Structure 1
Amino acid sequence: MMSFLSKDTHAQTRFNWPWRSQSPLSAQLLVDIPPEVELSDYRRLPSSGSESPSGLLHGEGFKEEPIPDLDIFFERLYEYFCAKGLRCIITKWIIEILNILFMVCCIGFFFLFVDWDTLIHLKCGVEALESGEKPCDLMKVIKHDPLVPFTLPKMITVGSMVILTSYGLTNFLKFFVQLRSTLNVRQFYNDRLKVNDLEIQTISWPRIIEKVVLLQKSQKLCVVRDLSEHDIIMRIMRKENYLIGMVNKGILSFPIRSCVPGAGPTVRSHQHDRRNHLILPKALEWTLNWCIFQSMFDSKFCVRKEFLTSPDVLKKRLIFVGIAMLILSPCLVIFPLVYVILRHAEEIYNHPSTASSRRWSNLSRWIFREYNEVDHFFRHRMNNSAVHSLNYLKQFPTPLVSIVAKFVSFVSGGLAGALIIIGFVGESILEGHIFGRNLLWYTIVFGAIAAVSRKVVADELQVIDPEGAMCLAVHQTHYMPKRWRGKESSELVRREYDTLFPYTIIMLLEEMASIFITPYLLIFELPKRVDDILRFISDFTIYVDGVGDVCSLSLFDFKRHGNTNYGSPFNGLKSLRSSQGKMEKSFLRYMQFQVLFIFFYYACSVTYHKCILCAVKG
């Protein structure tokens, strides 16, 4: 590991920021402190041997004493802030457990108890009267012995229910394990930061950090060194910064075809000097978290030497998890399938146009996310970029498709409108049948086709300006590869951007497909990247006194990782620079939030005192 950098290499010193002496918050903003990120998805229970604050993990009240395990402490402090108070946390936990219970019931009922063959041929209403049969009894479609015979599909269904039930039971137990620590975090907010659950609804995160930093001066939370804003952020984002760096350096790119579901843009790997497709579905992200990030640190948050020197152990672990996931994949694929039906079926039924909505893919979130950018700031930036990104993808109209869509929309909309008028004339007419379906069914189908086809028709008022639309999108995404520059109107750029911002329904289908793709990557492709992963961790890890090992890119060390093409005062080795100036962009983004908060806070304070003075004089 490298020794920590001297103060003269710090970004604040080199850039001579004018506000360095204006506030205690900015005075120590980047002084000897590395950022670590802990995603909400990376929640973990501390081991019995870890250095954990007794107040957080064992339910004791907070005492005025140093906190040994600051990672867990700040992680839960941030989670409490994002959840907006104790009531919201408890309600969210209860709702999550109820959602899991509801999904288990739905899977069991629809896949085991419902006799679909009988249901399809069941005649009700007018059909029953015309055929002379008795009114349909829906209880006939319920199986009394759902597991007889116990076929392979039923075995898969039962397996999925067992897995989902185990997951729900784990969450249920985790609720009680973490409840005491959550109560202690609430006590810390109320008693030591003087922020109650009502105030936490509106207070900003930089303000919370400032309160913690000021508290450090009177009550030593950390005995090794004084806390700073940069320290806190690095502890919260320790693992995330490593994953951001791996994606940025092309470590998680594989030689796969562009037609593979979830395959993203191509990047040039610095290790192999060839272009491969990035891919990072949620299933692979969770696996990397469990196999790498949760096992690479010791109790003092230093990377274990045996982890770096034992690539075969990591390869075997990845292959084992891949084989286990492959065996369980038929059971696991049921979860997203049922979720899609429960979550989006009603929405698409009532608003068919939502089928053409778009969302950021999981890969795009890790491409765009910057070092030390906490989750709620990042989500805010991505939400702002969605409108501009959608506008950019509209810059590529397909005249032929638009012409056909206009015709389909006209015909289907006209038929749906005619059937609606017929319904006003006589409601019973809609019960008439054509080709075995009543007219009400045709009304719904034609209406849905019309709604979807209208979304495909090009907007006649759309101004075609791909360069301008891309400029607005880049202002929020901060992502503009060199191969895109000057080619904003090309099909290549549009296609790659479409993989990052796909249709919602396409993204959901890709996540289901990833359950089968991830085992392939874990068994055959990712073991080939183990040496690159360990080399990245070794080359980009630095020890910070009082913080532990962190990703060196999150330190904003311009002397070692700087790129003068992006405004850095130093030019580091090409192999150590971040791709596309991500470190420099991350630094500016970090300073933007911290400094704007400082200026806004003190401006409000001055305004407040002026108002009080005027009131006294008046």
Structure 2
Amino acid sequence: MQNYSSLQETHEPDEEGGVLVHVAEPSRARWNHIEDLDSFFSRMYQYHQRHGFFCMLLQEVLELIQFVFIVFLTAYIFHGIDYPVLFKDEPPHHGNGNSTKVTLHDVVLPFGQCVSNFTALTWIALIIAFVVWVLKSIRGVYHLFHFWDIKQFYNTALKVDDHELDNLTWHEIQTKVRTVQMEQQMCIHKRELSELDIYHRILRQQNYLVAMVNKRLLPPRLNVPFLGEIVYWTAGLRLNIQLLFFWSPWSPFEHPWHLREEYKKPNLRHELANQFGKHILWLAVANLVFAPIIFLWQILYAFFSYAAVIRKEPSILAIRRWSLYGRLYLRHFNELEHELQARLTRAHRPATKYLAAFSSPLGTIISENIGFYATAFLAVFVGLSLIDEDVLAVEHVLTIMTALTVAVAVLRTIAPDETTSQDLEDLLTKVMVHTHYLPTDWSGQAHTARVRKEFEQLFQYGFVSLLETILSPLLTPYILWRHVYPRSIEIVDFFRNFTVSVVGVGDVCSFAQMDVRKHGNPEWHEEEISVPDQYSQCEDGKVEMSLVHFKCTNPSWKPPEGVQAFVKNVQNQSSMIASLSNQDPVLNRLDESLAPGAWRIGEPCSTEAIPTAPTVDVPLYTSGIWRNRVTSSAEPQGHGHMSRMWTNEGISPMSIREMALNATYLHSIHSNRTENRVRNTAQETTPLLLNR
């Protein structure tokens, strides 16, 4: 093994005098024993995903310039424009008396006159903006120094130049990092780093949030009049939660990798809960103080960001996207951001089709009639403007035409899509193929308004996300006070009960260890397993799904001995499904004749739908149509964009198909176990009725 802790010398004879010249190789001892590997690996991942140092430098500089531009433009809009002249309430001050034409020179005031119009409130806002800009600049410089260090690591230790980053997947970079660990011992507590060790370092905080969402500790749920229960989770609230849990000096984590010792002692839970509750209240007060400024900034940023897009394509706000809550709920333990993004991108089309299949007859009738009137008025204005363009100069005509265009675009999205399948169970099953998760109580209820409403919490309109972002500064103080503060003791208990120390990694969320023996759910296993209690179980098969997904994403990873049997069983059964669907003639003939027996989420697999061939051991979940549904949904929907996502994800299309089969197989087990439990309960409670 080569030791980079000491300088190495090469002896080369001089061509003229034969003098030995000592050329020292640059020392790479700087990579030995890195104290904060969490930050190091996280920056290394960001460096790869953001395409290298110079792209990151350019992004940081442009963001600072953009901040200055927004502040400057806003100040000029409020104090540097002569609105009476612009709206022709007054004649131009510098024009001749006979001219009615207004020029930019008449409307835009000189810079000095604009500054002289500043009020005390404007100066206060500018001072705050300057302080924020200075802090952002310091943070940017700090980050760039660290990323320059990461650049040296890529170039020197990994031997990867920036121009080669786009040609290497994260899986390949990770393999190189594990090799460098063997040579230079970045982590001195263990000689070899596994794929899971690196993921733990990068996703330590994210895994805790995923677990809290799974146990319904987060995010807050609000009962809003006329809307019902709303799951509230925005970028602003997430930032505050991370500040409380991980980043602040008073957070439960003393270091990024170490939970404070007092949080591990049960006898201090009440004292810690009181302290933690006080921190939540102080943070709520701080949010309340800065809410007006942040709220104004959110409005300005949204206006400047979306104005041109909305004018060009008003329907952009009616396009659905995965909400921040949806991304957290559907995320596996130990799943990197680009892996999650690739999976949700594949699920976007079937999710859109599922919600598009719902239609309200009353809403459709109303929207069609309103759309007719709006289109008629718009056509009249367009026709008149074609005859004489002076029509556009009439007051408010352009505003009315813009509003009508937006209304027509939005109303068009409400109309039902006649080309979409109305088999809602089938559409929801196709969504599950890629998301891998669906709540248990959705089983067989895909057609109901309740499931549609809950699914919209995961997959929301763009304008809903925009509205939540704008209102977040005003709502976050209330959420912290009324919904996070009362659960202080539950949060303290969660960190104590679900934190384990791993050699070479530090303190991690125990759910992220993906130990199905400790945190598995018996209803997601073919064989009986003993889990300590309901509190320790992960819901919705999260641990089981995460385990098989991590194995598919990292094929060379070796699961611990205790869970290898579970992983192998799932893989073997899924492989049997794939092979039978391609090779077995008996099962292939079922595709044309057993449409009623097709498997769906929430339906137990029936032995009546699948005959048993004497020479083939046919599992209960291998309905031919189900196999076709899974395999067809997992196939690529194009070649260019999706194949690029696969390359970035570092796994092959076959691995994606394998994970789809694994997920559906686990759901089929859950359906069977749930049905058996319900049947046994009914038999115990009503034996006479069942024996008739």
- Range of TM-score over shorter length: 0.7 to 0.9
Structure 1 residue 142 displacement after superposition: 5.0
Q: Which moved more, 1:115-124 or 1:391-400?
A: 115-124
Q: Which moved more, 1:223-232 or 1:293-302?
A: 293-302
Q: Which moved more, 1:537-546 or 1:182-191?
A: 182-191
Structure 1 residue 279 displacement after superposition: 2.8
| Corresponding residue for residue 189 of structure 2 | 224
How far does the alpha carbon of each residue in 1:514-557 deviate from its partner, in whole angstroms, 9 at most, with x for none? 22221012223322111000100100000111211000011112
How far does the alpha carbon of each residue in 1:434-458 deviate from its partner, in whole angstroms, 9 at most, with x for none? xx444x5554444333333222222
Unaligned 5+ residue runs, structure 2? Answer: 1-26, 559-646, 653-692
Q: Greater relative contact order (Cα 8 A, min sep 6): structure 1 or 2?
A: 1
Provide closer, same or farther for how the CA distance between residues 565 and 116 of structure 1 changes in structure 2, counting only shifts above 3 A: farther
Contact 1:62 1:188 in 2 (8 A): no
Residues 1:108 and 2:75 are matched in the alignment: yes
| Corresponding residue for residue 251 of structure 1 | 217
Residues 1:279 and 2:232 are matched in the alignment: yes
Provide closer, same or farther for how the CA distance between residues 602 and 460 of structure 1 changes in structure 2, counting only shifts above 3 A: closer
SS of 1:256 mapped into structure 2: strand
| Corresponding residue for residue 350 of structure 1 | 312
Contact 1:206 1:597 in 2 (8 A): no
| Corresponding residue for residue 235 of structure 1 | 201
Contact 2:210 2:329 in 1 (8 A): yes
Give 1:287's aligned amino acid. N
Contact 1:160 1:334 in 2 (8 A): no
Provide closer, same or farther for how the CA distance between residues 196 and 482 of structure 1 changes in structure 2, counting only shifts above 3 A: same
SS of 2:508 mapped into structure 1: strand
RMSD over aligned Cα atoms? 3.4
Equivalent position to 1:485, from 435, 443, 454: 443
Q: Whole-Å Cα distance in 2 between the matches of residues 102 and 75 of structure 1? A: 31
Provide closer, same or farther for how the CA distance between residues 165 and 505 of structure 1 changes in structure 2, counting only shifts above 3 A: farther
Residues 1:382 and 2:344 are matched in the alignment: yes
Provide closer, same or farther for how the CA distance between residues 124 and 495 of structure 1 changes in structure 2, counting only shifts above 3 A: farther
Equivalent position to 2:555, from 576, 595, 606: 595
Q: How does the TM-score come out when normalised to structure 2?
A: 0.69
Q: Spell out the pairing of 1:54-203 with structure 2 (5 A cutoff).
A: 63=30, 65-114=32-81, 119-120=86-87, 122=89, 134-136=100-102, 139=106, 144=113, 150=119, 155=121, 161-203=126-168
How far does the alpha carbon of each residue in 1:391-429 deviate from its partner, in whole angstroms, 9 at most, with x for none? 1111111223223333333443344345444444x4445
Q: Spell out the pairing of 1:444-455 with structure 2 (5 A cutoff).
A: 444-455=402-413
Provide closer, same or farther for how the CA distance between residues 561 and 448 of structure 1 changes in structure 2, counting only shifts above 3 A: closer
Q: Whole-Å Cα distance in 1 between the matches of residues 117 and 402 of structure 2? A: 37
Contact 1:384 1:476 in 2 (8 A): yes
Provide closer, same or farther for how the CA distance between residues 519 and 379 of structure 1 changes in structure 2, counting only shifts above 3 A: same
Provide closer, same or farther for how the CA distance between residues 237 and 441 of structure 1 changes in structure 2, counting only shifts above 3 A: closer
Residues 1:408 and 2:370 are matched in the alignment: yes
Provide closer, same or farther for how the CA distance between residues 464 and 76 of structure 1 changes in structure 2, counting only shifts above 3 A: same
SS of 2:254 mapped into structure 1: coil
Contact 1:262 1:280 in 2 (8 A): no
Q: Whole-Å Cα distance in 2 between the matches of residues 162 and 475 of structure 1? A: 52
Give 1:281's aligned amino acid. T
State the number of aligned residues.
Answer: 522
Structure 1 residue 93 displacement after superposition: 0.8
Contact 1:385 1:477 in 2 (8 A): yes
Give 1:390's aligned amino acid. T
Contact 2:371 2:411 in 1 (8 A): yes
| Corresponding residue for residue 244 of structure 2 | 291
Q: Whole-Å Cα distance in 1 between the matches of residues 245 and 256 of structure 2? A: 17
Q: Spell out the pairing of 1:316-331 with structure 2 (5 A cutoff).
A: 316-331=278-293
Structure 1 residue 260 displacement after superposition: 9.5
| Corresponding residue for residue 36 of structure 1 | none
Larger Rg belongs to: 2
Structure 1 residue 161 displacement after superposition: 4.5
Q: Whole-Å Cα distance in 2 between the matches of residues 114 and 319 of structure 1? A: 42
Q: Which moved more, 1:161-170 or 1:191-200?
A: 161-170
How far does the alpha carbon of each residue in 1:263-308 deviate from its partner, in whole angstroms, 9 at most, with x for none? 64xxxxxxxxxxxxx4322221111111211232234822112356
Contact 2:344 2:434 in 1 (8 A): yes
SS of 1:550 mapped into structure 2: strand
Q: Which moved more, 1:566-575 or 1:111-120?
A: 111-120
| Corresponding residue for residue 304 of structure 1 | 260
Structure 1 residue 591 displacement after superposition: 1.0
Q: Whole-Å Cα distance in 1 between the matches of residues 473 and 553 of structure 2? A: 38
Provide closer, same or farther for how the CA distance between residues 235 and 149 of structure 1 changes in structure 2, counting only shifts above 3 A: closer
| Corresponding residue for residue 48 of structure 1 | none
Contact 2:86 2:102 in 1 (8 A): no
How far does the alpha carbon of each residue in 1:220-241 deviate from its partner, in whole angstroms, 9 at most, with x for none? 2222102111100000011111
Give 2:283's aligned amino acid. V
Q: How does the TM-score come out when normalised to structure 1?
A: 0.77
Q: Whole-Å Cα distance in 1 between the matches of residues 98 and 227 of structure 2? A: 50
| Corresponding residue for residue 23 of structure 1 | none
Residues 1:584 and 2:551 are matched in the alignment: no
| Corresponding residue for residue 583 of structure 2 | none
Q: Which moved more, 1:135-144 or 1:562-571?
A: 135-144
Q: Which moved more, 1:377-386 or 1:241-250?
A: 377-386
Identity of aligned residues (%): 26
Unaligned 5+ residue runs, structure 1? Answer: 1-59, 265-277, 604-618
